[in-house]
Amino acid sequence: MYKITEKKNLGNQIIQIDVHAPSIASKALAGQFIIVRQDEFAERIPLTIADYNREKGTITLVFQAVGFSTQALMTLSEGNTILDVVGPLGMPTEIEQYGTVVCIGGGVGIAPVYPIAKALKAAGNRVIAIIGARNEELLFLEKEMASVSDVCYIATDDGSVGVKGFVTDLLQEVIQKESIDHLWAIGPMVMMKAVSETTRPFNIKTTVSLNPIMVDGTGMCGGCRVQIGTDTKFACVDGPEFDGHLVDFDLAMRRAAVYKEDEKKAVEQHECKCGGAGLCQH
């Protein structure tokens, strides 16, 4: 059992929890993730580690309650426990002293890009952060991102805070002014594709973090396979970070859409605590 030591509501059903998991906290690195299972009836959910505290033995997780399982996870309070927390999983971010780097977070992707920006800053890089969301209500960790970057830009679709527009609009401005040595982008698939296409003409090394459907997180189920150039990779063991210029985003988005449609049908036809995932025993 893993106890929730702290819980924060970041707004619009975006939840941050600190979980006491000393063995994971002692090994976790930027870019890695864990898989949680709330109880014996629940499905497995991959969540990127948004931060960790080795002294306290805690890891920080941020998620938006959009599906059955994340909505159930949102109901837990401080002091409650999670049955399973497995990790750290995946390959960590390659942290080096690159020079000038850009870290872009879109929507809930702001959470996993934060520890990357933090680690890059600690390694001596000049960090330019760009974070974006549809509106001010969906924006979070602004102060935290600003604290680990030299410059932090904000974009919202409706202009409620920061620049009105997309993160790619701000990125184009930064490219015109800066010599960028490496860029990381985490967020919705369509956003990461747009960022990769923006940097491609300038040959800016672009790393994205993919979060397709996962079950076991060890490469056994094959659900998280993605096409990277001419190779088929598994996001859980080969990633989650890949070269954005090699990712077949269109294929990844089509696969995600199929899973969502199948999940919707399953929920409509199958009511139980697993939310139609077929992972419960009944």
Question: pTM, whole model, 2 decimals?
Answer: 0.86
Lowest mean pLDDT among 48-57, 79-88, 211-220: 211-220
- At 5 the three-state DSSP class reads strand
Work out the percent of the chain whose per-residue pLDDT is above 70.
Answer: 91
* Cα 153 from Cα 132, distance rounded (Å): 8
- Identify the band that residue 201 occupies on the pLDDT scale cut at 50, 70 and 90: very high
Which tens digit of pLDDT belongs to each residue from 18-37?
999 999 999 999 999 999 99
* Cα 247 from Cα 193, distance rounded (Å): 8
- Would you list the domain boundaries of the chain? 2-89, 93-207, 210-271
Which tens digit of pLDDT belongs to each residue from 88-119?
999 999 999 999 999 999 999 999 999 999 99
pLDDT at residue 13 above 90? no
Which tens digit of pLDDT belongs to each residue from 169-199?
999 999 999 999 999 999 999 999 999 999 9
* Cα 227 from Cα 238, distance rounded (Å): 12
Please report the pLDDT score of residue 123 as a whole number.
97
Work out the percent of the chain whose per-residue pLDDT is above 90.
Answer: 67
CATH annotation of 93-207: 3.40.50.80
pLDDT at residue 271 above 70? no
Q: In this structure, what token pair is assigned to residue 103?
A: 């870290």
Domains 2-89 and 93-207 share a fold: no
Beta strands in 148-280 (DSSP E): 151-156, 163-164, 182-186, 206-209, 225-228, 231-234, 241-243
CATH annotation of 2-89: 2.40.30.10
Please report the pLDDT score of residue 189 as a whole number.
93
